[in-house]
Structure 1
Amino acid sequence: MTLFSYHLLELPFFQAMKGICLTPISKQTKGLVHSEYMTAMTLGAPIFSTSRVLIGQVAVFMQWEEETGLNRYLENDHFGKVLSKGWHVRLSFTRQWGKYEGFKIPEYKNKVDSSNGPVVAVTIARMKPFAVPRFIHWGRPVEKLVRDHPGTTLALASVKFPNTVSTFSVWKSEKEMEDMVKGHSNVEKPKRHVDAMKERERKDFHFEFTTLRFKPLAEFGTWKGRSNFIPKS
């Protein structure tokens, strides 16, 4: 059964730059369906600041035909061994909105145990270059909403030049995430996400865009000295 995984890793500056220019993940990797190698970003950070794009912090989103492929990659591949020293979560697909080339979304959909169970959300898109200023205007308030939301245990963005952008967030419960999406959260300016989605429907920012929702299966390693980002359901 297909498996998704999301990896976070800190690398030396020049090794990270090499990965940006030449992705270290072979498309011929046995059992790998698709991968996106990206540079992590701080949600909500000023656009022109050193805290925005975090060279040296790598985010990798992958889909596997089955879990044995991921295990084999982490144990035997050169870059897989590097990835294994970071943090990652294994994910079972539950829902999708939109489309994005490369990933093969399964017809089978798992279910979260309950609306109070933890969920992981990944968005990934290819931007229209001339829509970037408008996207930043509407997107940064949403980034801050997700970053500061009491329902998230881990939230970040990532980018792959020239035009791929993504977000990753771990939520304590599906209900808290859906309340945020619908503008029902008990936070300041709760409708920031709703407003941004209305603007996207009016005039799309992207060539392609998808939001994927997952049930977290297991997490491994540490990120910035922390672990146990996935709440116990």
Structure 2
Amino acid sequence: MSIFTYHLAKTSYLKALKVLLFPPQPIHTPGLIHMECMTFMRLGSRVISPSRFLNRKIIIFAQWESESAIDSYLEKDSFGKVLSKGWHTRLSYLRQWGKLDEFMIPEESKELDDPNSPVVAVTLARMKLFQVPRFIHWGRPVEKLVRDHPGNTLALASIRLPRTVSTFSVWKSQKEMTDMVFGHSAGADPKRHLKAMKERDRKDFHYQFTTLRFKPIAEYGEWDGRKHIIPNLTKTK
């Protein structure tokens, strides 16, 4: 069964640019199924902002054949060694909405044994360039809703120009995440996410889009001085 990873790491501008232009490929990386290489964006930041574009903070979302393939890559590959100095979580697939061609997503969905267990959500989209202004108009309020929600312990976004955008969020429980999605949260305008999804259904912003839900199974390293970002995990290093 395949396993997914999500990595946060800092490197030089040159190395960040190199991995964006020439991301690792499965043919040269044993055990890799697909890897998305992006740079960090702060949720809800201004549209024209350095935090939305190229910087030294690299974000990697990848699918692997096994944990041993992950360990080998982090220990032996030159870019893998950069990632090993940052933070990452290992993820077991639960379910998907939408579709993205490059990943090999299992056909069978799963459910958490305990709805109060932590859950990780990843969205990944290929933008229609002429729809970017609409996407920003509807997306920024949702970014702020997720960013400020008390139910998550980490929420961020990432980008790879010109078309790829993504979000990542760690939730204390599946219930808190689904309450946010369906507009049942406390606070101002809790239906921002629901409204944006209805607008996307009316006229899509993307030519491909997926939302993936995962059970976190391990956490390694630290990010901006933080450890144990995912609550109640027994496997942390």
Task: Give the TM-score taking structure 2 as reference length.
Answer: 0.94
Distance across 2 between alignment mates of 1:175 and 1:221: 27
1:153-168 equivalences in 2 (<5 Å): 153-168=153-168
1:9-158 equivalences in 2 (<5 Å): 9-23=9-23, 25-28=24-27, 29-53=29-53, 55-158=55-158
**Aligned twin of 2:198:** 198
| Residue 4 of structure 2 corresponds to residue 4 of structure 1 | yes
Distance across 2 between alignment mates of 1:57 and 1:132: 23
Q: Which amino acid aligns with 2:210?
A: T
Q: Which amino acid aligns with 2:96?
A: Q
Q: CA deviation at 1:77?
A: 1.2
Cα RMSD between the aligned structures? 1.2
Indicate conservation of the 8 Å contact 1:87/1:219, yes or no. Answer: yes
Q: CA deviation at 1:82?
A: 1.3
Distance across 1 between alignment mates of 2:109 and 2:219: 20
SS of residue in 1 equivalent to 2:51: coil
Indicate conservation of the 8 Å contact 2:52/2:159, yes or no. Answer: no
Q: Which amino acid aligns with 1:22?
A: F
Q: CA deviation at 1:26?
A: 3.0
**Aligned twin of 2:225:** 225
| Residue 200 of structure 2 corresponds to residue 213 of structure 1 | no
Distance across 1 between alignment mates of 2:217 and 2:90: 5
Q: CA deviation at 1:140?
A: 0.3
Post-superposition, which runs of at least 4 consecutive aligned residues in structure 1 deviate over 6 A?
none
Indicate conservation of the 8 Å contact 1:31/1:64, yes or no. Answer: yes
Q: Percent identity?
A: 61
SS of residue in 1 equivalent to 2:55: strand
Q: Which runs of 5+ in 2 are unaligned?
A: none
**Aligned twin of 1:178:** 178
Indicate conservation of the 8 Å contact 1:42/1:54, yes or no. Answer: no
Q: CA deviation at 1:112?
A: 2.0
Q: Which runs of 5+ in 1 are unaligned?
A: none
Indicate conservation of the 8 Å contact 1:94/1:111, yes or no. Answer: yes
Indicate conservation of the 8 Å contact 2:3/2:67, yes or no. Answer: yes
Task: Give the TM-score taking structure 1 as reference length.
Answer: 0.96
Q: CA deviation at 1:216?
A: 0.2
Distance across 1 between alignment mates of 2:81 and 2:50: 29
